[in-house]
Amino acid sequence: MNMNSLSTLSSLLSLSRQAFATSRSINLSPLCFSRRHASSSSSNRWRERQAADVFTREAAVRKYKSRAAFKLIQINDQHRIFRPGQSIVDLGFAPGSWSQVAAELTKPNGRVIGVDIIPAQPPRGVSTIQGNFLLPQIQQYVREYLRNPDRGRCRPQSTFTDEAGYLARERQVTIDEERYEEKHGKAEELSQGGGEGEGTVDVVLSDMWEPLPLTGNTWKRSFSNPFHRMMNTSGNKFRDHAGSMDLCLAALSFAYNTLKPGGHFICKFYQGSEDKSFEMRLKKLFQKVHREKPESSRSQSKESFFVALRRKGDVPRREIFPEEVAEEEEVD
């Protein structure tokens, strides 16, 4: 084979490779484009809806973590939940918009404690605990934190002078703890809950919902934008309703153990067959119970809120949670 033939063969092979590569590109690119287009189309629709939403725009102006802040603001405008100096617990606080509102409305000398399984930067003036609220040890930790009514409150800057130094600060903290233990007893000697009505909390908020699982390398995004993993319903209204009722029941159990007589409870839920049963529990424990769907809640959403006002102080736990008595009898 002469040099011209080799050159011709080499050219043909090169053209063949190019044609094969081009055919692969042509065959695969529509599929890739379709997938990218579907994803970007969904993202674009979400962005367009957010951009057109007046509450989303206003939340950005006011520097709220999310538009959900206006749901709590509108509930408070109607029912006057918050007052300066109150102690608030926000269950499922991430990304923190409800805690922001609570902190603003309880100034000065209020305290707000947020609890969530998702790590999130706490808003200014808010203390937070990361953990799965459904675990008994996490609930116990929160109750231990709450037992000292001064813990988590901002101390006046004038309490310590610069000259006093950290030793004086430590001495004052020790004195405060000793005075508290003399009056209330040591934390480890106290019962787990608030007994038949004693508590330290003025308002319990629950905006809990099961987050999407954390996958891949998304931990940084989850930390900075935790709401991307929050409030993601399954699309199955029965499953969403049942899940929300389980979380409402856990929040109510915590509220029973921690709310002061006269305290309030606000809980998000998804409408369904079991919400009337839950409402009956609330009516046994609180003087007034309302169902609310604030204007800022999207019209297509199935979410609503129970607003339970003025906790009664003399209701036995067995009347609110009769299933616990049945379980104890089965064990015996």
Q: List Cβ neighbours of 54 (8 Å cut-off, separation of 6 or more).
A: none
Order of all β-strands in the sheet with 126-130: 126-130, 111-116, 87-91, 201-206, 259-270, 303-311, 286-292
Catalytic residue numbers read 268
Rounded distance between C-alpha atoms, residue 324 and residue 330, angstroms: 10
Rounded distance between C-alpha atoms, residue 86 and residue 264, angstroms: 11
Report CA 310 to chain centroid distance, whole Å.
Answer: 23
CB atoms within 10 A of CB 262: 13
207 in Cβ contact with 251 (< 8 Å) = no
Q: Sign of the C-alpha dihedral, residues 54, 57, 60, 62?
A: negative
